[in-house]
Amino acid sequence: MIEIDRIDVLRNKKYILKDVSWTVKSGEHWCIIGLNGSGKTTLLNVVNGYVYPYKGGVKILGKEFGKTNLQELRKEIGLVSSSIKHEFQRNESVLGVVLSGKFASIGLYEAVEKKDVETAQKLLEFLNCLHLENEDYGVLSQGEKQRVLIARALMAEPKILVLDEPCNGLDIIAREELLKFIEKIAKLEDGPTLIYVTHYIEEVLPCFTHSLLLKQGTVFAKGKSSDLLNEDTLSTFFDRRISVQIEQNRKWLALI
**Per-domain boundaries in the chain:** 1-76+202-256
Residue 15: the pLDDT is 93
Q: Is 238 helix (H, G, I), strand (E, B) or coil?
A: helix
Compute the distance between CA of residue 63 and CA of residue 11 in angstroms, rounded to an integer. Answer: 25
Residue 104: the pLDDT is 64
Residue 66: the pLDDT is 84
Cβ-based burial of 97 (10 A; exposed 0-12, middle 13-18, buried ≥19)? buried
Residue 106: the pLDDT is 57
Residue 109: the pLDDT is 54
Residue 169: the pLDDT is 87
Compute the distance between CA of residue 88 and CA of residue 101 in angstroms, rounded to an integer. Answer: 12
Residue 126: the pLDDT is 94
Answer whether CATH 3.30.420.10 is correct for domain 1-76+202-256.
no
Residue 86: the pLDDT is 65
**Could you say which DSSP state residue 191 is in?**
P
**Measuring CA to CA, how many Å separate 45 from each of 6, 121, 123, 238?**
16, 30, 26, 24
φ, ψ of residue 231 in degrees (nearest 5): -65, -40
pLDDT along the chain (256 residues), means of 10: 95 92 95 92 90 92 88 87 74 89 64 85 94 92 92 93 92 93 92 94 94 96 94 94 91 90
Question: Residue 175 forms beta bridges with which residues?
Answer: none
H helical segments located in 108-230: 114-126, 142-154, 172-186, 225-228
How much is the pTM? 0.90
